[in-house]
Structure 1
C-alpha cells in the first residue's frame, strides 16, 4: 500500500474536522517519536501535509503546533523511560537487535554530545526514535534528557508545520 492510501484520508478528515487537528497532529507526532511505532506510521508526510492545510484551509497554527510538540515530547519521554526501566537488556530485543551497528553509533554519538545528541537526533528520521532509547538505556540524567527533548520538540514542530503553512499563505497572496 502506498503513502497516498494513508495520507489522503487523514488530510481529508483534518480538513473536514478542523477542531480535531491539534489532537490528530499530537497523535501523529507521538507515533512518529515513539520507539518501534515510528517505523509503522508514515507521520512525517502527513504532518507536512497538515502544515500545508494550515495555510490553505485557514487552520489555526498555534494549537496544531502545540499538539505536534506535545506528541513529540510524550513519545520521546515514554521511549526514554521504557529503556531506562529495562536497561541495557533492551538492546537484545526486537527491533534493536536487528541494527546493532546503528545502536552502537547512536551510543557513541550520545556519549560524545550528550543532551545535544538528543536535540539533534530529533531531526534525523532513523535516529528520531532510537536516540531516546539509547539515552534511557545508558541512563542519561532525566533533567538533561527532558531539557533537550522539550527544546528539540518545539523547534521540530515549527520546522515540520511552518513551511507548508507559510508557503500556502504566500501562494494565496
Structure 2
C-alpha cells in the first residue's frame, strides 16, 4: 500500500472525495489547505495507487490542550502538569473504498506519525474527537473515552509505543 502524503491542493481531487459526512468532506475541500498554510494542522491523504489524484482517505493532525481532570485518576497524577497532547482532528475514508481496512490503516499511520513526533517534542497522550458515533472504532484500538465526554477519546503514547513499532 502507498504511504500517506501531505495534501496538495493542485494535485489531489478534493471535490471528488465523499465519506458521507458533510463536515468532513467540506473540511477537506475548503479548510485543510488553509489550515496547513497557517501551520495550524497537517492533513495527510492516502492516494489511490491507480489514480494518485483520487483520495482514498485522509486524516488531520495537530496539537490540543488537555484537561487532565477528564483523564483517569492514575493518569491525572502522572501528567498533572501537562498542558497539551497530539490530536487526530479528523479521519475519513471515501465511501467508494469502505470495507477494505483503510480506516484502520489510516489510524495506525496517524498514530505512527504522532509517536515519532512525541520522540522529538514530548507529549503523553493522543486525543481523537470521534464524529457521529465513531467512538467504538477507536475503542477497538485501545482508546478510552474521557470521563466527561464520550465522543472524545484518548490513548497514551506509552500504549502506542507498546503496540506499534516505528519500523
Q: Which is richer in helix?
A: 1
Instruction: Looking at secondary structure, tell me which structure has more strand per residue.
Output: 2
When the two structures are superposed, what TM-score results if normalisation uses the length of structure 2?
Answer: 0.28
Q: Which has the larger radius of gyration?
A: 1
By relative contact order (CA 8 Å, sep 6+), the higher-ranking structure is 1
